[in-house]
Structure 1
Amino acid sequence: MNRILKKTAVMIMAAAIGVSMNYQGAAVFAGTNNNITKQARYVEPEEWNRTEIKAYQFDSTDKFENYLLTGGAHLYNKNFKQSDRMVKITVEDPGYFVISADTDGDGSQKVKLYDSTKKEVLAQTTSDGDLEYGRLAKTGETFYIQLPAKIDKIIITSGVIKDEFGSMKASDTYYESGTGAATYHPFSISKRSAVEFNISAINRKGGETYAYIEKKEKGVWKRLDNTVKIEPASYDDDFIHGLQKGEYRLLIKAPKTQLNAVSFTKSSKSKNVAYKKSKAKSISLNKEISNIYTTGEKAERWYKVKVTSSKKKRRLEFGEDTVSGGYKFTIYKAGSKKVFKTIKVTQEASGKMVTLPKKKGTYYFKISKLTKKTNGVYEIGYY
């Protein structure tokens, strides 16, 4: 299941809570106001039990979420009286059409999805009867959701995400069909950060997608590192960069047969690191530290750990998340200039472990970049 449908499921829950709270709030207000009749207290909102729903276009999932939380969620209950129990959904604008039905139950409320000919569509359905579906659709296409004979509470949401985008903002998801040529998507970083991109190539037979990052320096776009390849039907394919403050753009190249969902998140990282052995940062037992290198940072960094017991083995784990190059970790025992261990962790490796001797003492290790292009996250854990 791809990223937008997962996010939609979360939005449905938030929308459901909002619908419930608004309904309960109205009932409480009605009970404290003698001027409101009993009949008026229980008038259902017009968005409830609709026989027809229109799916409108939104630029991104963020705008779609705002719509869901401000009236775009349609609730169905025992008062739904349509004889064939069908709800018609009409696509009003072209793009990536998504629809979800949250049954909020124990699996007894089964829902089905049909196309315009009322032929059943294979959609993701959970054991609880929840339904999730998404694909590119054209203006005017119709779908039908068939609800069960007995309804406790079901919430249906639908919308269309625009099939192209320009600039990006963090924590939002966009959609783009391949053009066969490069497309460019600007974004900005205000603080030194770890920036994680997610590109999901949705179409199983759509071909590979390629992407990389460029930075604007003195009015010229300069490429930062290696190209990332995203395989077809690859969901949640992530890659991480260490970026300084500045203007950037994501370049994507995909065949016309491929559709990609694209998003990024960022996490600011302090530059509070030690550049001398005498000022090495301590790592605590059972805790993990992480930081980043950007392309403009070169200096080696120092950390240390203390082994306080000779009865138990302690291990160091070194990890990374980069697109280019990797990191070298050189370990020394206090009082000795001899190298205890050298570890190289590249983008192909998931991490490496080092077991320390069962002797009390302090161990120092320095971190350096393997290549000039190396940028991204490094992690160190002590166990």
Structure 2
Amino acid sequence: MKNIYKVTLGLLLTLTACENDLDQVPPNIASADSLEDFTGVLNAAYFYQIGSVTPMAVMGDFRADNALMFEAPFTEFDEFDADLPVMEDQFFGPFYTAMYKSILSANNVIENSTDATDIGEARFLRALSYFKLVQVFGDVTVNLTGSPAVDDPSILAKQPAAGIYTDVIVPDLQDAISKLDNSGLGSGRASEIAARALLGKVYLFQGDFGNAETQLASVVNGAAGAGIELQTDFATIFGADYDLNPEIIFATQISSSIVDEYGFSEFWSWSGGLDTKSLEPLDLDLVAAFDDSPGDLRRAVTIDETILASPKFPQTNGPEHDWIEIRLGDVILMYAEALNENGNTEDALTELNKIRDRAGLDDSPAESQAEVRQAIQDERRLELAFEGHRWFDLVRTGTVDTEMGESVNPNYYLFPIPISEVLASGGVITQNPGY
């Protein structure tokens, strides 16, 4: 397959045009200044998100207490020491490269397109890419141009995550909200409500619960008007037959007809126990969590105790499963969290109980702010298991040690920068502490 960009020190200079269909692989090369229609370049920014899917799924659940690895060196995901970089080739390297390719594609659209909707979508995708990078690595290199000066390696120096949030991710999402409407819903493209949902999540990760509540309230209250609703049956959220169902706010579209750059087992293989490195990935701690939630209708959809794996993304039509980036169930629980942290505990319970009701459960017995805080985190685990959220939730809520049952060095809350990037930059890109 011909790539949109060729990576050199994590930055790219050649530009590729592609077919208008999001599902097409970019077939030819052109320089940015020769293009008038940047739809193809924007589609490339979407396309490269595929390379983030399986790494984020594995990091989110296998690093946490939902799933286990059984074959060395993959068992390093279950250890908290300096040896995790051995997993670079399959996870951190492809993820890192894919995100910077998506960013550079988005940069070219932002700089050169005159179409406001295209620019809004590109802003969303750039924000999404940097958000994923900061979640995984913390401080990272920032490039906001389509023509970076590769003769100046100093631009590769990592920038503080806090500044990336305030100077890149938040402004990009605010601009995306101003430029987009909701006509992209159901088509796999970015929308105003998707940008608002992601902005609310970003504020939550920053601990800015006031702004998080504002954005997430707008999503929850505006969902029906945009045609978004909770699926009545939890099982009908997942699998190729239900791609882009009404609960999905944004998903990375995947198709077996797209030959993407990630050449390893896909996310549905890992959770389903179809990869020999972990034939029985289900962590018994997650089984115990469902035992504590008797009558939970999500149990049979999420875990199979016979094969010790998850059927959430079925093996049938596995290569056709979209990856859910944002869905309404997740947003409702984030909104409940923001409400509770802002002292609106009664309203938080109302939102929490929407999710429990669909799961066939009684209203939560939690009463105090602390009890509701724990109840929301417990509900997020059961609702979102094997969707790549768990580890990142533990880190942002400061509950790693409590939930993992051990004292974890905070250095290992983040993942290792690919060693290949450190070496290629001549050490300008530095490794994360502990690795």
TM-score (norm 1): 0.22
Structure with greater helix percent? 2
Structure label with greater radius of gyration: 1
Structure with greater strand percent? 1
Structure with larger RCO (C-alpha < 8 A, sep 6+):
2
